[in-house]
Amino acid sequence: MKIPLNASTFGEDEISAAIDVLRSGFVTFGERCLTFEAKFAEYIGSRHAIFVNSGSSANLLAFFALVNFECPRSKWGRGKLEPGQEVIVPAVTWSTTVWPIVQAGLVPVLVDSDPYSLQMNLESIDQAISDKTGAICPVHVLGNAVPFEGIAQKAQEHQLWVIEDTCESLGTRYDKKFVGTRGDMGTYSFFFSHHITTIEGGMIVTDNDDLAELLRCLRAHGWTRHLKNREQVEKKYSHIDPRFLFVNSGFNVRPTEINAAFGMKQLEKLENFNQRRVEVAGF
């Protein structure tokens, strides 16, 4: 018997929602994306959710935010990172955890993972921390969770940023809270084979208002268009047409309304999807 690695989880609900978007004539980033962000933030328990076009892009924005001139301070007191500073990451991860660190001018430092749980080994973090360390990026692998109290302790001791790569563990709870919500940022992937799919897509969550605004700005060319504090920012540049006001560097990693339509339907099914994964794992 051949068992496929993954199978489609979407059905007529998602297809119908996507068709509604196409018939509306408005398919680029809009109200559906904003609604999906709000629903995801409410579900996961974060103040902000920033929807992007992939989990890879979620990591990209997260690490570029840390080196941006508008970077605020972390929960544990660390400010903007400088080129050459180090980010501790587990050896068991995907390439898109590592490459955004390099692309942002930072240095990934790989540490061992536990051979049984496959989660980041906390003792190996102690050995890797140096005066160059600026952040820790725990990766919650295969639906499990890195014990966060140990991460938080190290972040407190050394004033570090904590970016939780949660692309493989959406819906996992640790000590009654969803993983991805305890650090400064949590990133998620909605690729075809992940817990929910938006075809391609990703999300960043944070409780930091200033960080959320920076991420929104970086998502779309450094544009002010989708900032919550748009009016406040645009008053500083009243001599510039606000339709063409770019106040930062940035990328174009916006999702589409079709992705959001898929995501809202899939989010309603997430708990059932995860329960089925538990049943299959225990077979």
Q: What is the pLDDT along the chain (283 residues), one digit of tens a residue?
A: 787 777 788 899 999 999 999 999 999 999 999 999 999 999 999 999 999 999 999 999 999 999 999 999 999 999 999 999 999 999 999 999 999 999 999 999 999 999 988 999 999 999 999 999 999 999 999 989 999 999 999 999 999 999 999 999 999 999 999 999 999 999 999 998 899 999 999 999 999 999 999 999 999 999 988 888 888 888 888 899 888 998 999 999 999 999 999 999 999 999 998 898 888 887 6
Predicted confidence at residue 242, as pLDDT, reads 86
CA 34 to CA 242: how far, in whole Å? 20
Alpha-carbon dihedral angle through residues 94, 195, 55, 138, given to the nearest 10 degrees: -50
pTM for the full predicted model: 0.93
Predicted confidence at residue 283, as pLDDT, reads 67
The residues that bridge with 111 in the sheet, in sequence order, are: 90
For residue 220, CA distances in Å to 29, 56, 251, 252 come to 10, 16, 6, 5
The residues that bridge with 110 in the sheet, in sequence order, are: 89
* Known active-site residue 194: yes
Predicted confidence at residue 278, as pLDDT, reads 85
Do residues 61 and 50 make contact, with C-beta atoms less than 8 angstroms apart? yes
For residue 161, CA distances in Å to 45, 65, 208, 211, 253 come to 20, 11, 12, 12, 23
Domain ranges of the chain: 12-281
CA 283 to CA 276: how far, in whole Å? 11
Identify the H or E element spanning 52.
strand 48-52
Predicted confidence at residue 250, as pLDDT, reads 94
Rounded to a whole number, what is the distance in angstroms from the first to the last CA of the chain? Answer: 16
Predicted confidence at residue 76, as pLDDT, reads 97
Q: What percentage of the chain's residues is helix, strand, coil (to nearest 5)?
A: 40, 15, 45
CATH class of 12-281: alpha beta
* Annotated catalytic residue, options 194, 195, 221, 239: 194
CA 177 to CA 184: how far, in whole Å? 15
From the number of C-beta atoms within 10 Å of its C-beta (0-12, 13-18, 19+), residue 282 rates as exposed
Task: Report which residue type is found at 22.
Answer: L
